[in-house]
Amino acid sequence: MAQIGFKSNAGVIRDHNEDACFVIPSCDIYVVADGVGGNNGGEIASRTAVRGVAEYVDANPIDDCEDADEICNYFIRCLELVNQEIYQAGRKHKENKGMATTVVIAYIRGDTAYVVNVGDSRAYLFRNGSLSQITEDHTYVNELLKSGVITIEEAENHSQKNVITRAVGAEPSVRADFFQTALEKDDILMLCSDGLYGEVDEQKLIEILGGRNTMSVTCTHLVDEAIRCGGRDNITVICLKI
């Protein structure tokens, strides 16, 4: 079983935390969600998402999945159900109309990580001093970047860099991306909301992840650094050392 750490903080500017996370060590499943929406909608959406994933996992043993395709379909079904719950709740309660959430989920089986994401919460792999992003952001700016309309430097400072193009609960159906990556001993898998990577530059993330601390201490240092850098958004991170 991986060594696990997790931490969430509202940050400096926001008066409440619309992020949520959940760890299910017995199944090696880990979830980060970052809610969006007026009033308390974002907070409701993110918490509904992590609760929905946990309930689905509890009712549907993932060990029954025999291969990557079945694992992919498992999480697609899970997120469709969660999406419906959040979408219907947003329609039922006018004060929470339009609420939605990002979701990134990691499932570890043997020496493979299976990762599912919707939105711009990310999964990273830290190995031998190098950090690589596993997921791809579902954002307006990333679409511009992929099409060659803007450069990486322009993307970092773009006025609409936080505009997401996919979210759980935003539409009647949801489309998730699915990734799998091989794991090696001492790898660290990091799941986080944009409140972390949007504040802390990559070199500092590498420095903290390579600090040989426990995963709990590592997560505390990551969140503290995001706050030190401005803490303009909610910050959530899960770290797993293989």
* 208 token code pair: 């903290």
Query: Is residue 134 very low, low, confident or very high in pLDDT (cuts 50, 70, 90)?
Result: very high
Query: Is the distance from CB of 211 to CB of 197 less than 8 angstroms?
Result: no
Measured between alpha carbons, how far is 118 from 122 in angstroms, rounded to an integer? 9
Q: In this predicted model, which residue has the larger pLDDT, 171 or 163? A: 171
Mean pLDDT for 159-183 is: 89
| Domain ranges (residues) in the chain | 3-241
Torsions phi, psi of 3, nearest 5? -80, 130
Reduced DSSP (H G I as helix, E B as strand, rest coil) percent helix, strand, coil of the chain, to 5: 35, 30, 35
Q: Which of 131, 122, 124 is nearest to 206 (CA)?
A: 131
From residue 126, how far is each of 3, 37, 84 by CA, in Å? 14, 32, 34
Query: Is the distance from CB of 96 to CB of 86 less than 8 angstroms?
Result: no
CA 163 from chain centre, in angstroms, equals 16
Spell out the CATH class of 3-241. alpha beta
Half-sphere exposure (Cβ direction) of 177: Cα atoms closer than 13 Å? 19
What pTM value is reported for the model?
Answer: 0.93
Question: For 13-27, 32-46, 79-93, 202-216, which range has the lowest pLDDT when averaged over its residues?
Answer: 32-46
| 183: CB partners within 8 A, 6+ apart | 108, 111, 112, 113, 125, 189, 242
Query: Is the distance from CB of 68 to CB of 114 less than 8 angstroms?
Result: yes
Q: In this predicted model, which residue has the larger pLDDT, 74 or 140? A: 74
Calculate ∠ Cα 174-175-179, nearest 5°: 140
Local structure of residue 193 (DSSP, 8 states)? -
Q: Which of 40, 30, 25, 34 is nearest to 194 (CA)?
A: 34
Query: Is residue 157 very low, low, confident or very high in pLDDT (cuts 50, 70, 90)?
Result: low
